Amino acid sequence: MTGRRGEPGMTVQSILTAKGTEVVSTSAKATLREAAEAMTKGKFGALVVSESGETVDGILSERDIVHMVAEHGAAALDLKVGDAMTANVVTCNRTDRIDDIMAQMSERHFRHMPVIEDGKLVGMVSMTDIMRKKLADLHHEASALRDFIRGH
């Protein structure tokens, strides 16, 4: 694998092609209880906070909810998403290389990155999506090697 920038299989776009572009967002005015319910229902670990559904106002991950529960106890569930979210969101583009995104997540200690195009939300990539893609690529490569050996 050469890993050149823009190579389709190596970019964020290849993940969006596999998983789709739907992003579930929440409002800063929603409660943490509502956010936790949405995360459980959708089976994901973070929600983009957006009033318009297009721009990114913040990100709320399960870790933010755990943090608030540790600090405020059960009362945390009635607090607002806006009180717990991270407002300074690191985003990426469709053409970014997956390895670069992975390095950023690892360095900055988070597992989710909204994908932005022309200032608008067009997808979400998580560490799980990246792991899934890496595993699929490894299977693909192993199968190509097996075919090569069998054919010779």
Choose one: 33-41, 75-83, 105-113, 140-148; the region binding ligand AMP (CB under 6 A): 105-113
Tell me: does residue 82 bind ligand AMP (CB under 6 A): no
- Token pair for residue 103? 């390095």
Least separation, in Å, of the C-beta of 146 and ligand AMP?
36
| Nearest residue to ligand AMP on Cβ basis | 61
> Which one of 61, 65, 68, 94 is in contact with ligand AMP (CB under 6 A)?
61
Tell me: does residue 36 bind ligand AMP (CB under 6 A): no
3-state secondary structure the chain: CCCCCCCHHHEHHHHHHHHCCCCCEECCCCEHHHHHHHHHHHCCCEEEECCCCCCCCEEEEHHHHHHHHHHHHHHHHHCEHHHHCECCCCCECCCCEHHHHHHHHHHHCCCEEEEEECCEEEEEEEHHHHHHHHHHHHHHHHHHHHHHHHCC
Tell me: does residue 113 bind ligand AMP (CB under 6 A): yes
Contact criterion met (CB below 8 Å) for 113 and 90: yes
Least separation, in Å, of the C-beta of 107 and ligand AMP?
12
Choose one: 58-66, 73-81, 130-138, 141-149; the region binding ligand AMP (CB under 6 A): 58-66
> Which one of 49, 59, 101, 116 is in contact with ligand AMP (CB under 6 A)?
59
Interface residue list for ligand AMP (CB under 6 A): 45-46, 59, 61-64, 86, 89-90, 110-113
